[in-house]
Structure 1
Amino acid sequence: MKLIKTNCYVTSPDVVLLLAHGAGAPADSDFMEQLAAALDEEGVAVVRFEFPYMQKRREDGRKRPPDRQPVLIDCFSGTLAQIREEVGESVPIWVGGKSMGGRMASILASSGASVDGVVCYGYPFHPPGKPDKWRVDHFPQVQCPMLILQGTRDPFGKAEELEERQPELGGCSITWLDGGNHDFQPLARSGRSQNDLIRKAARQTRLFIRQARVPGL
């Protein structure tokens, strides 16, 4: 499996974020490239990888639906073990991802995997238009710090919906990106760009990681 590593990873990282892609776009999509670059600027070393179905798509160009959850989790877990072997026990490793990738990261953490935290970028709380099909049953089992960066226009989960289901969210923290959709793209009239919101998400990620490592900072 090819891993995509940012500069911070190469130069003795003090924290690593293992980042998974969403359901429909690869690890080197425009969103993932911007996010990895923004996190690198914030001093967060990022390692990206691809799930088996996306690797096959890269090989033959044929679109496929995502693998079933056990396959995705097994791939995530195996990649985590590889990174842990590379960086040793002293470097904190966080897991996260875009949409489906973030959901898999949170499920991995809920299973007791040895991770220091979780960061999700655009969490798919429910399929668009189906607010009755929530995907948070495992949240209370996540025992490490968990941050979700969510656009206020994201059809996969909006603020008013989450307010009604707060008890189901466990101890996760949510930061809202004003005007962003599921890809953190704001409306043109806002005067902001997608990259502006991605960079804000990266800053919030670094701040959250620092606070988690030094409570009360």
Structure 2
Amino acid sequence: MQTLVDAPSSPRAAYVLAHGAGAGMAHAFMADVARELAQRGIAVLRYNFPFMEQGSKRPDSPAVAQAAVREAVAEAAKRWPGLPLYAGGKSFGGRMTSQAQAKAALPGVRGLVFLGFPLHAAKQPSTERAKHLEQVKVPMLFLQGTRDALAELDLIRQVVTPIEQATLHVVEAADHGFEVLKRSGRSDEEVLKELADTAAEWMQ
């Protein structure tokens, strides 16, 4: 398994960060999130799913992806024994992590952080993909943009509100990739810092 690590000298927690379906662990957004979290005391382990390592455009089956999540979590636990451990990721990576956790608890993981949970396909609003979240027994943080085409805000609220251990943080003007339009008055950098601030504070 290919991994990348961003860590401060004395981390206070560790986060296992999975990539989305369209880009691997070295994508600029993944690198930026890892760097910003490391600056806030969070060690970050990024990794590639097998399909990305093989150069395929078709994401792995849930079983294969979930096995990769477990391997990455075990690697982070070995690297940073005793640190509070969190897992999750961008879009597909976050959903595969939650599915793995719902099936059988990820050893040592205290909570899940989702960077744009992909609730449904674009223009196909549904909450089917969230059913397994009821089986997740650790706290969850959902970071969701108001312009996310893969998670209509009303629907993500419907999903998160009944789950006692779930927290929703809404990122104004951001799309599924956490990019903003110039006319919003916000910059991508401001959004990135908001993501990192919110996630680091929640984990600590």
Superposition TM-score, scaled by structure 2 size: 0.92
8 Å CA contact 1:136–1:168 kept in 2: the answer is: no
Q: 1:136 to 1:107 in 2, by over 3 A?
A: same
How many angstroms apart in 1 are the aligned matches of 2:160 and 2:86?
24
Structure 2 CA distance for aligned equivalents of residues 164 and 7 of structure 1: 35
CA contact (8 A) 1:140 1:171 kept: no
Q: Which residue of 2 aligns with 1:3?
A: 3
For structure 2, the residue ranges without an aligned partner over 5 or more in a row are none
Q: Which residue of 2 aligns with 1:82?
A: 75
Pairs within 5 Å for 1:42-81: 42-57=40-55, 63-81=56-74
Alignment pair present for 1:138 and 2:132: yes
1:37 aligned to 30, 35, 38, which one? 35
Secondary structure of the residue that 1:189 maps to in structure 2? Answer: helix
The letter of the residue matching 2:111 is G
Looking at structure 2, the residues matched to 195 and 148 of structure 1 have their Cα atoms a distance apart, in angstroms, of: 19
> Could you tell me whether the CA contact under 8 Å between 1:139 and 1:170 is conserved in 2?
no
C-alpha distance in 2 between matches for 1:77 and 1:25: 20
Which protein shows a greater Rg?
A: 1
Match of 1:93 in 2: 85
**How far apart are residue 168 of structure 1 and its match?**
5.9
1:120 lines up with 2:114 in the alignment = yes
Give me the whole-angstrom Cα distance separating, in 1, the residues matched to 2:31 and 2:160: 32
- 2:144 maps to 150
Is 1:102 equivalent to 2:94 in the alignment?
yes
Q: Which residue of 1 aligns with 2:201?
A: 207
Instruction: Tell me the SS of whatever aligns to 1:138.
Output: helix
Give 1:165 deviation, angstroms: 4.5
Q: Find the aligned partners of 2:203 and 2:88 in 1 and give their Cα distance.
A: 12
Structure 1 residues 164 and 95 mapped into 2: Cα distance closer, same or farther (>3 Å)? closer
- For residues 190 and 146 of structure 1, the distance between their equivalents in structure 2, rounded to whole angstroms, comes to 28
Q: For structure 1, which segment, 63-72 or 166-175, has the greater mean C-alpha deviation from structure 2 after superposition?
A: 166-175
Contact 2:160/2:167, CA 8 A, preserved across alignment: no
Give distance in 1, aligned partners of 2:160 and 2:88. 21
> TM-score under structure 1 normalisation?
0.87
Counterpart of 1:60 in structure 2 is: none
Deviation at 1:171, TM superposition (A): 2.9
- The size of the alignment, in residue pairs, is 202
Confirm or deny that 1:184 pairs with 2:178. Answer: yes
Query: Could you tell me how far apart the structure 2 residues matched to 1:98 and 1:166 are?
Result: 17
> Which ranges of structure 1 fall in alignment gaps of 5 or more residues?
58-62, 211-217
CA distance in 2, matches of 1:153, 1:163: 14
User: In the TM superposition, what is the alpha-carbon distance from 1:12 to its structure 2 partner?
Assistant: 4.1
User: Residue type matched to 1:79 in 2?
Assistant: A
Question: Secondary structure at the residue paired with 1:125?
Answer: coil
Contact 1:4–1:47, Cα closer than 8 Å, also in 2? yes
